[in-house]
Amino acid sequence: MEYNDFLESKKMKTVSSGFDCGELNNSLFGFQKDVDRWMLKKGMACAFQDCGLGKTFEQLVWADQVCSYTGSNVLIAAPLAVSQQTRREGEKFGIEVNMCRTKHDVKRGINITNIEMLHHFDPRDFKGFEIDESSILKHSDSKTRQLVIEMFSQTPYRSAWTATPAPNDYMELGNHAEFVGVMKMSEMLSTFFVHDGGDTSKWRLKGHAKEKFWEWLASWAVVMTKPSDLGYPDEGFSLPELIIHEHVVDSVVGDIDGQMLLIPEIAKTLLDRRRARKSSLEDRCTCAAEIIESNPHEQWLIWCDLNDESATLKKMIHDSVEVRGSDSDTHKSDSMLGFSSGNVERLITKPSIAGFGMNWQNCSNMIFVGLSDSYEMFYQAIRRCWRFGQTKRVNVHIVISEAEGAVKANIERKEKAAKEMISSMVQHTKIILTDELHGSEHKYISYQPQKKMYIPNWLKSEAI
């Protein structure tokens, strides 16, 4: 084997296993058509696109094309209420989507179910499978992750759709790579990363492997925050103004070892923060209720972190609907879809319940009465309303106690890390993806010699 051939064999390549599609739905934007064509050509791939870029429509067209090509069925797994929203989206564009809870409800074509119901299906009934809001795959030890990866490992066409991954959460990227059959997460980590000290949960890219890592990522995932990332104009895809209002309520002055404190101590540990939240619960909820009642004719999305916060807010805020984890699926779905239609004016819930997948451009006011340490939850919750298609300025109110300063600082730190990671992802994958998506051709200027070249005698040698 020649040395150049040896080097070529060492390159990591993602083999396309899909097909060339025909004409796509004319309602798709140009960049959306490019994404769908590329995803279908790959056969198994991921789309990391920011909120409001039309992932739902893209995934429906992807599923419709797979059904037509294979003559078989496609199953979509989505969070609760997002399933109904997806079905309605399909109706708008003439794509039929069948809601189902078990394998007995499956019909020919596109089927959709809640992620929690997957164990009721037989993967052999489908040639295509796609997971909406696929960030659920980030939990490497979760039962759902294992179920999804193992259950559909033999399904020939697979796709995952989500917003840009959590900041510096390379585990999430590894889980997606494993889902689409590119590489196991453990192999990805050993190939591109090192971990600092004894904390194996904190991985960083090897200095010499950065370019190769992003090149590898671009071979199986689309990463984009706006159409111009793929060379298209951003007209119609500009985000409105986002204004974050911070409201700090007084904290109850506590004591340490019997010594009274003149000023409240900033919570540092998770236990400290929970104590601070509980001690300020009534004051924070009262503050939130006053803010909401000062704008009585506006629709409000009210986020909380604790069950006690949710219950207290329900008592204080008139005409509000509360959605808790213990509620029935019917109540959750009806309440969230009611908020979408405007029939519910004030929705109280947690980001973990309704923070992913819902399109609520109809609302431009939200309030956080409790913050967790998850920047992803915070970001996703904001993006339910602050997304492409929103026509109003979005107001986000954060109500915290003096003692919770560490939580806000932690969120801000993660926000900075997220922007850096997303910028790096887009920057390193843009050229590669644009070439693949557009099928660009490299142009070469042919050499046209004008003069004869003479070889000196001392370079000439007689043939042996």
What pLDDT was estimated at residue 419?
Answer: 75
pLDDT tens digit sequence for 98-120 = 999 999 999 999 999 998 899 99
61 band by pLDDT with thresholds 50, 70 and 90: very high
Q: Which of 130, 107, 102, 127 is nearest to 117 (CA)?
A: 102
The model's confidence at residue 6, banded by pLDDT at 50, 70 and 90, is very low
Rg (CA), the chain: 26
pLDDT at 427 over 80: no
Per-residue model confidence as pLDDT tens digits over 28-39 = 999 999 999 999
> What pTM did the predictor assign?
0.78
Residue 430 has pLDDT above 80, yes or no: no
Q: How much is the mean pLDDT over the chain?
A: 83
Report the candidate in 88, 136, 92 with the shortest Cα–Cα distance to residue 333: 88
Q: 5 falls in which pLDDT band (50, 70, 90)?
A: low
- Please check the confidence at residue 367 and state whether its pLDDT lies above 90: yes
State yes or no: pLDDT of 190 exceeds 50: yes
Can you give the pLDDT at residue 60? 96
HEC assignment per residue over the chain: CCHHHHHHHHCCCCCCCCCCCCCCCCCCCHHHHHHHHHHHHHCEEEEEECCCCCHHHHHHHHHHHHHHHHCCCEEEEECCCHHHHHHHHHHHCCCCEEECCCHHHCCCCEEEEEHHHHHHCCHHHCCEEEEECHHHHHCCCCHHHHHHHHHCCCCCEEEEEECCCCCCCHHHHHHHHHHCCCCCHHHHHHHHEEECCCCCCCEEECHHHHHHHHHHHHCCEEEECCHHHHCCCCCCCCCCCEEEEEEEECCCCCEECCEECCCCCCCCCHHHHHHHHHHCHHHHHHHHHHHHHCCCCCCEEEECCCHHHHHHHHHHCCCEEECCCCCCHHHHHHHHHHHHHCCCCEEEECHHHHCCCCCCCCCCEEEECCCCCCHHHHHHHHHCCCCCCCCCCEEEEEEEEHHHHHHHHHHHHHHHHHHHHHHHHHHHHHHHHHHHHHCCCCCCCCCCCCCCCCCCHHHCCCCC
pLDDT of residue 443: 38
Domains of the chain in start order, with CATH, are 12-236 (3.40.50.10810), 242-414 (3.40.50.300)
Whether the pLDDT of residue 46 is over 70: the answer is: yes
pLDDT at 140 over 60: no
HSE of 37, CA atoms in CB hemisphere, 13 A: 19
